[in-house]
Amino acid sequence: MEWLPSSSPVQLPDPNHPAPEPSRLLAAYRAMVVGRRFDAQATTLTKQGRLAVYPSSRGQEACQVGAALSIGAQDWLFPTYRDSVALVTRGIDPVEVLTLLRGDWHCGYDVPSTRTAPQCTPLATQTLHAVGLAHGEARKGRDTVALALIGDGATSEGDFHEALNFAAVFRAPVVFLVQNNGYAISVPLAKQSVAPSLAHKGIGYGVRSEQVDGNDAAAVLSVLDTAVAHARSGGGPFLVEAHTYRMEAHTNADDAGRYRSPDEVEQWRQRDPIDRQERQLRESGHLDDTAVEQIAAEAEEFAVQVRSRMQAEPSTDPADLFRHVYAEPTPQLTEQLAQLRAEQEAL
């Protein structure tokens, strides 16, 4: 049946998946290079104490960039805590992206105007939000697709399965992109699921599914283009599993050396998505040394600007603790805010 995933992850060239236009592949390469430099800079900021935590997505750039480039400005993105590069690729201010991870605010960017939900830390809860929004937009007759990013560990959560079932029953225009990076923190995939692939989890719900080499940027774009077109045309939800790898630790608080070997990491380093995309573009004549150097310089300047702006101390108001907790503040919150104001005036 057409909704069954391929027996092995899709790689290009593939007769069933047309290659994206060279201009899109070049744009993806540029976004991956800039995204990786941003990711490295954010990791450094964490070590300097400028961020409370940062979950690196180094090695997963093809998935991050592919997700952002596969949807339009009218569509919605529902990211996880590890998807900062996807948000930067979507055009969101990088300092606003890092605001949550610095602990300054609940979400640093404007959700309605960016059509990007806050980065979600609880596993899989945003899948239900994505389905609900997609269903609501469809009922209003709007041309909107919701794309929900999740990790492999999230596929073990009940919310993920509820989201698949609801989306299938109501044919909601939503795409689920599972970034299978091999580990749910320290738990390997083999201890999470014995299914042939995580893409197969869509079968029981009647959700069209596919699996793709998540380190092949061209293949990721091609498969996601198919998934988004399927959802947009009224075909219902689509589940994509991207096989990739998290090169860094889960976060700066994690010691990945305790549960995976250097040899395993090195094997995946040889499949680096940026290196692979660069080789493909060079071979096709769409990239040369000059362009590579220009893009690298652009990425470095991007990092310099992020670093400079993140060095500035944020302006905070303690009263922000009480804002947006409820639409109408409760008597208890009003009383607590008054106490805070009185203490501030007494200083």
Which sequence spans correspond to the domains of the chain? 22-316, 317-346
Distances (CA, A) of 124 to 130, 153, 245: 10, 9, 19
pLDDT in tens, the chain (347 residues): 567 899 899 999 998 899 999 999 999 999 999 999 999 999 999 999 999 999 999 999 999 999 999 999 999 999 999 999 999 999 999 999 999 999 888 789 999 999 999 999 999 999 999 999 999 999 999 999 999 999 999 999 999 999 999 999 999 999 999 999 999 999 999 998 999 999 999 999 999 999 999 999 999 999 999 999 999 999 999 999 999 999 999 998 899 999 999 999 999 999 999 999 999 999 999 999 999 999 999 999 999 999 999 998 878 788 888 887 898 999 999 999 999 999 999 88
Closest by CA to 114, choosing from 129, 94, 143, is: 94
| Residue 330 phi, psi (nearest 5) | -75, 160
CA atoms within a 13 Å half-sphere pointing along the CA-CB vector of 281: 26
CA–CA distance, 234 with 224 (Å, rounded to integer): 16
* Strand partners for 238: 175, 208
**Fold entry, domain 22-316:** Rossmann fold (3.40.50)
Closest by CA to 221, choosing from 230, 234, 212, is: 212
